[in-house]
Amino acid sequence: MKYLIKFALIAVLFIGVFSQCKKYPEGPLISLRLKKERVANTWKIDKLLINNVDSAAYFSNIYKDYTINFTKSGSYSISYYVAIPLVGNVTNTESGTWSFTSNKDDITLTPTSITYGNVPNPCSYQILKLYEKEMWVRKVDGNGKVTEYHLLPK
């Protein structure tokens, strides 16, 4: 009985301490996988919120088969195609490196090449949720527009 009480007290203390130490606003509380391993995946957009308005259908009508692939070694690639009338499907691929910033609260993409257009500037996203099978990130631009991406493995 004495051991059961000690175990219960330790369990309550453990839960209390770790519930205050949650890294990302939407979780997880504890993970046995490293953050880099959880990011490394090929992702697709499940939900896209722009200023809290679901814009995934609009986005996917323009950017077809949008995927982002993160590797454990720190590289990434984004690919999609755009259907252009009288031309056909035009595939675009952006690639570069990714890294954690702000004590692993953010992920920063640093593009090095793109098929069409100018290479974008580096961009940081706040990590809201980081599971092996789900990742949420948020970006706030200079005008206050909030874009939230909910990603699932492809």
pLDDT at residue number 76 = 98
Beta strand ranges found along 2-63 (DSSP E):
41-50, 53-54
Cα gap 78→44, rounded to integer Å: 10
Give the torsion sign (CA, 107, 97, 73, 63). positive
pLDDT tens sequence across 23-56: 665 555 555 578 899 999 999 999 999 999 999 9
Domain region containing 23: 2-153
* pLDDT(77) > 60: yes
Percent pLDDT > 70 in the chain is: 79
DSSP annotation of 41 reads E
What confidence tier does 86 reach under pLDDT thresholds 50, 70, 90?
confident
Total domains in the fold of the chain: 1
Flag the least confident range among 15-24, 64-73, 130-139, 140-149. 15-24
**Do the Cβ atoms of 56 and 66 come closer than 8 Å?**
no
Return the structure tokens found at 7.
């175990």
Closest CA to 73 of 105, 44, 97, 104: 97
In this prediction, residues 51-73 reach a mean pLDDT of 94
Cα gap 57→88, rounded to integer Å: 21
pLDDT tens sequence across 87-106: 888 999 999 999 999 889 99
3 state DSSP class of 102: coil
Cα gap 154→63, rounded to integer Å: 15
What's 113's domain CATH number?
2.40.128.540
**Do the Cβ atoms of 81 and 92 come closer than 8 Å?**
yes
In which element (H, E) is residue 56 found?
helix 56-62
In which element (H, E) is residue 38 found?
helix 35-39
Residues ≥6 apart with Cβ < 8 Å to 99: 74, 107, 108, 110
